[in-house]
Amino acid sequence: MKKYLFIFSLSVFLIVFILAIKVFAVDQTKTAEFFVISSDSQISSATSSQFTVYIGDNLSGVANPVKSVYFTASGVYTGNGTIKFEIDSDAATAKTFTLPNVGTAPTPFEIIYKDDTNKINPISAGSYSYAFNITPSGVTISGLAAKANITHRFAPPSCPDGQSSNEKIKTTEHFVISSDSQISSATSSQFTVYIGDNLSGVANPVKSVYFTASGVYTGNGTIKFEIDSDAATAKTFTLPNVGTAPTPFEIIYKDDTNKINPISAGSYSYAFNITPSGVTISGLAAKATISHRYKPPTCGGGYPATGDLTSAVFDTGAEGAAYNSVMWKGSLGTGNTGKVRFQLAVSDIPDPGTWTYVGSDGTSCGISFWYDLPSPDTPKELKCFSDFNNKRYFRYKVQICSTDCSVGGSYTPQVDDVVVSWSP
């Protein structure tokens, strides 16, 4: 039986392919949240709070990396007047928001403030400190709180998470409590914080921790929050007298003692204590928002674990073609690291819509298997006759692995040509 060889030159394509798995686009963004202020006192005059923003990504060569910065300020107010926000007492950043006259009726509010002068605009990784200034006029605010939401663009490294020498930051949220009963006396809820990242060698990895508590209350009194029943963490927030009128609230609570401050990966359990006094709370709920710095895992010197290339459709010209073997030409990575493997898809028509790629582990055939070709210039018998025989058209998928196809490596194989042998 006469055999035919299809030889496909991949030299040009592999140059593009290899670069594609090494280099990533610059336009990647992430969002992180940072605690700004939480006051357990009623505020009717100017106040200020220092806060810190941390950028852990590479911003080199990225023009205008900060794409969005805004503050969310909330609380409950009474009176008739305004609230002015500024950054670093800079009049150019000031915005004054007028609030409706509510007299003595406590009314929740939430205001989003954006500084149009771009005062917060880091251009390199690091910690940046600012002052957030709040000036109420004609109004009294209970449970004043604010957080900063920052979205920035960054230059990703040669692998998705970066080398382990880099330090990055992420924000996670953790459920704390949700009560379907009305609460008028002390209650407590166990919750767990999980850190899955490598914090080794990272000084002060936790950059921001705060709790957001919400619900609807009636009465006239206070709510006290603590962690692990530790009096040093306690803050008591005074709520305006609303009598029997159900009034929504949202309070941001931050423990200034840094009770929650993991320094290594793992699970950490705490108790969140809530003590209402003079008020009844319906739908009480709380969540914890944590922003922490970490070291990404080593990704093998820059190459991801795998990279795939799918060929064009080829026509054997034979209605009953039988496929015999596949072979590749090129070289493995330095030290013969890496792996090259294939799958084959065949069809009676040039465009079946969906191509089913099949491989083999030597005994079984199927879509979850690959033909491993451990070295170049060595044909691999395809077998899997029921899957491949008597089909005129075919295409293949080649997967290049920098090590064992599960983890990244420092080198990559190069495939120059693919040879498919078939018989009419």
What is residue 3's three-state secondary structure? coil
CA distance 127 to 108: 33
**62 assigned to some structural domain:** yes
Boundary residue ending a domain (226, 261, 294):
294
Which one, of 52, 66, 299, 68, lies nearest residue 166 by Cα? 299
What is residue 93's three-state secondary structure? helix
**21 assigned to some structural domain:** no
Q: How confident is the model at residue 13 (pLDDT cuts 50, 70, 90)?
A: very low
CA 401 from chain centre, in angstroms, equals 26
What is the overall mean pLDDT for the chain?
84
**17 assigned to some structural domain:** no
pLDDT score, position 302: 57
Boundary residue ending a domain (294, 320, 354):
294
> What is the mean pLDDT of the segment spanning 294-312?
71
Boundary residue ending a domain (238, 270, 294):
294
The verdict on 89 and 178 lying in the same domain is yes
Look up residue 42 and give its two tokens: 């009623």
Number of domains in the chain: 2
The verdict on 153 and 234 lying in the same domain is yes
**9 assigned to some structural domain:** no
pLDDT score, position 404: 78
Q: How confident is the model at residue 157 (pLDDT cuts 50, 70, 90)?
A: low
More confident residue, 63 or 54: 54
**122 assigned to some structural domain:** yes
The verdict on 174 and 60 lying in the same domain is yes
pLDDT tens digit string along 116-143?
Answer: 898 998 888 888 999 999 999 999 999 8
pTM higher than 0.75, yes or no? no
The verdict on 79 and 144 lying in the same domain is yes
Q: Output the domain CATH number for residue 330.
A: 2.60.120
The verdict on 85 and 118 lying in the same domain is yes
pLDDT tens digit string along 171-206?
Answer: 888 889 988 889 999 999 999 888 877 787 788 889
pLDDT tens digit string along 237-279?
Answer: 999 999 999 999 999 999 989 999 988 888 899 999 999 999 9
> What is the mean pLDDT of the segment spanning 315-337?
84
The residue range of the domain holding 164 is 28-294
